[in-house]
Chains A and B, each alone.
Chain A
Amino acid sequence: MIDEIRQVAAQYPVARSAILPALRIAQERHGGWLPPEAFEEVGEALDLTPAYCKAVASFYDMFHLDPVGRHLVEICTNVSCALVGAQQVVEAFEEELGVGPGETTDDGAVTLRTIECAGGCGWGTVVVVDHRYREPVRAEDVPRIVQELRDGD
């Protein structure tokens, strides 16, 4: 991993610029979140302190400082999606998964999150499943999406 990060860093005049891609690589390696050792690895690769790496990671919403499920379901609840029923979609996921936003199912399969504007406003409600956009999603589509995730496991 350290070699991979250094390869990415070579694109930039200053290695520190590669911290976001480096944290992303580390997060993928560590099952979708950044445990303390990830900051040591990224720090070693880029010649930064682990504390600095964590300070940067904590600024950005896509880095997770706590464990997440094998799948990530993220629902936009910003204005455009909210106007066309984002709350009903959130409630449908809560019912199907039995967890609320910010929580992970007991079997570790799915973490449910609500997020700020994802940039699919004309086709709300936007749901991002494992980093791929589904749009538009209505409450009635939710059981099928959850089934798909369970089948894929």
Chain B
Amino acid sequence: MAIREIVLAGADDRDLTRLDEYRAGGGYAQLARARELEPAAILAELDASNLRGRGGAFFATGKKAGFIPRESPKPKYLTVNADESEPGTFKDREIMLRVPHRVIEGSLITAHAIESQHVFIYIRGEYLTEFEVLRAALDEAREAELLGGVTIVLHRGAGAYICGEETGLLESLEGKRGQPRAKPPYPAITGLYGAPTLINNVETMATVPKILELGGEEYAKLGTPDSTGTRVFSLSGNVVRGGNYELPNGTTLRELIYHIGSGVPDGRELKAVIPGGSSVQILTADQIDTPLSYDAMREAGSSVGSGAIIVIDDRACIVQLGLRVAQFYMHESCGKCTPCREGTRWMVQLLHKIEDGDAEEAELDLLLDVCDRILGHCLCPLGDAAAMPIASYVDKFRDEFRQHVREGRCPFGGESSLEDVFAPVDQHRGHPTVEVPT
């Protein structure tokens, strides 16, 4: 299978963190071209490419940019979301480390397309080395007078998953707790400092220069009709060769896990796959011929999400997996919406009970009921992102959940690969606990 690189193109051959090397490979040529073009012409190329947002929501990039009102008297902002923190995802980190100038070039082209003079790059606080690489690249670009009057501010987060949600990010960037806003109004109209704001993921931005280079129509020939182009997929978990792999959209899970990732180690059996970060529904081993494209994953009952594929072998207890995933969302819930704040705690408590063998059969339905009462009842997708995967674990592995109830203990008997792996204890200090009424 031919691997055609777009985002990471050339990074194996040259040190693209250096401006001279990036330019030697044609870097910043598309920015120069873009500045000769009318903004509408760039949006037309983005539309033709059918590029969809790589942060996980898969919204059409050109369409979103088109929502920015031209006539607004307020400044227009471009905010690049580099707050990568969806569990299983580590692609933006590699993109920033290896092709920082491509991120900057794509951002500057996009800023021109929406007639913005102000770019903020919100990078997760833990990514210190990545911040330093990006800062050095930005300094080089600034010295080479490539910014063309546009200001780019690198803004470091400080450890909060919710700030990857676009309105949580804006709140954080405004100097507040990162609690998401009600929508509408959407950020395109009322975003940062109440002004029109476009928010795009790092990988989306790093794709833009190549779209101009190839032409939108040519780019759209890569991948599948609903999911054009390539993606940098993050492969992790029980797989021999974990890492980031840039592949055309539509590559199947089997190709990625077995042909590229060399399969499951230690002769173990594949049990399940999480195909798009911990916020999406789980797939069983017999679903691995599903292509990694938007439509195919939706038909399979899951989502391509952030492109993070977590491979799970037969040593893992799915109840423990559910517990660990639920603990993550409980910890990261910002506390603004009651269904998410309280519901994630209920989920954790019920899953604890099931794992300990203390639950009744009816509590499996209660768990699903809690998920149902979160779904669609919160301002931002975090609540859904907790409820959807947990409900899918019960749905797909109900026998394993039942076995816990029936036997009054974990059937793995202390041998699960996830045994005892619970959430960061020190971070939960002082959290109120709720008792599930009987």
Q: B157 on the interface (CB 8 Å rule)?
A: yes
The answer to whether A114 and B87 have CB atoms under 8 Å apart is no
Q: How far is the CA of A17 from the CA of B75 in the complex (A)?
A: 16
Q: How far is the CA of A122 from the CA of B86 in the complex (A)?
A: 13
Given A102-B429, A121-B308: A84 in contact with B238 (beta carbons within 8 A): yes
Q: B165 on the interface (CB 8 Å rule)?
A: no
The answer to whether B89 and A119 have CB atoms under 8 Å apart is yes
The answer to whether A20 and B158 have CB atoms under 8 Å apart is yes
Q: B184 on the interface (CB 8 Å rule)?
A: no
The answer to whether B421 and A82 have CB atoms under 8 Å apart is yes
Contact partner, B424, options A14, A24, A116, Cβ 8 Å: A116
**Smallest CB separation, B388 vs chain A (Å):** 15
Q: How far is the CA of A13 from the CA of B261 in the complex (A)?
A: 46
Chain B interface residue count, CB cutoff 8 Å, equals 67
Q: B166 on the interface (CB 8 Å rule)?
A: no
The answer to whether B90 and A121 have CB atoms under 8 Å apart is yes
Q: How far is the CA of A16 from the CA of B193 in the complex (A)?
A: 11
The answer to whether A83 and B158 have CB atoms under 8 Å apart is no
Contact partner, A87, options B88, B278, B420, Cβ 8 Å: B420
0/1 string, B400-438, CB within 8 A of A gives 1: 000000000000000001111111111101000000000
Contact partner, A20, options B75, B128, B153, B157, Cβ 8 Å: B157
Q: How far is the CA of A23 from the CA of B172 in the complex (A)?
A: 13
Q: Which residues from B are CB-within-8-Å of A87?
A: 419-421
Q: How far is the CA of A86 from the CA of B173 in the complex (A)?
A: 33
The answer to whether A119 and B421 have CB atoms under 8 Å apart is no
0/1 string, B115-139, CB within 8 A of A gives 1: 0000000001111110000000000
Q: How far is the CA of A17 from the CA of B244 in the complex (A)?
A: 33
The answer to whether A113 and B426 have CB atoms under 8 Å apart is yes
Q: Which residues from A are CB-within-8-Å of B173?
A: 17
Q: B84 on the interface (CB 8 Å rule)?
A: yes
Q: How far is the CA of A14 from the CA of B174 in the complex (A)?
A: 8
The answer to whether B129 and A132 have CB atoms under 8 Å apart is yes
Q: B321 on the interface (CB 8 Å rule)?
A: yes
Give the one of B128, B174, B325, B424 with max A CB within 10 A: B424
Interface contact tally, CB-CB below 8 A = 174
Q: Which residues from B are CB-within-8-Å of A59?
A: 160, 177-178, 334
Q: Which residues from B are CB-within-8-Å of A113?
A: 424, 426
Q: A50 on the interface (CB 8 Å rule)?
A: no
The answer to whether B175 and A131 have CB atoms under 8 Å apart is no
The answer to whether A61 and B172 have CB atoms under 8 Å apart is no
0/1 string, B172-196, CB within 8 A of A gives 1: 1111111000000000000001000
The answer to whether A131 and B128 have CB atoms under 8 Å apart is yes
Q: How far is the CA of A84 from the CA of B243 in the complex (A)?
A: 14
The answer to whether B419 and A122 have CB atoms under 8 Å apart is no
The answer to whether A80 and B174 have CB atoms under 8 Å apart is no
0/1 string, A65-106, CB within 8 A of B gives 1: 000000000000111101111110000000000001111000
The closest CB in chain B to the CB of A116 belongs to B328
The answer to whether A117 and B242 have CB atoms under 8 Å apart is no
Q: How far is the CA of A12 from the CA of B90 in the complex (A)?
A: 28
Q: Which residues from A are CB-within-8-Å of B155?
A: 17, 20-21
Q: Which residues from A are CB-within-8-Å of B346?
A: none
The closest CB in chain B to the CB of A124 belongs to B236
Q: Which chain A residues have a beta carbon within 8 Å of chain B's beta carbons?
A: 11-21, 23-24, 46, 48, 55-56, 59-63, 77-80, 82-87, 100-103, 113-124, 128, 131-133
Q: Which chain B residues have a beta carbon within 8 Å of chain A's beta carbons?
A: 75, 84-90, 93, 124-129, 151, 153, 155-161, 172-178, 193, 234-238, 242-244, 274, 278, 308, 310-313, 316, 321, 324-325, 328, 331-332, 334, 417-427, 429
Listed by A's residue number, 5 A-B pairs whose Cβ atoms lie within 8 Å are: A15-B175, A20-B125, A77-B324, A83-B417, A121-B308
Known contacts A15-B175, A46-B175, A77-B324, then 16 further A-B pairs from the complex at CB < 8 Å, ordered by chain A residue: A11-B153, A14-B193, A16-B175, A17-B173, A17-B175, A20-B158, A56-B177, A60-B157, A62-B125, A79-B88, A117-B278, A117-B328, A119-B84, A120-B90, A120-B93, A121-B237
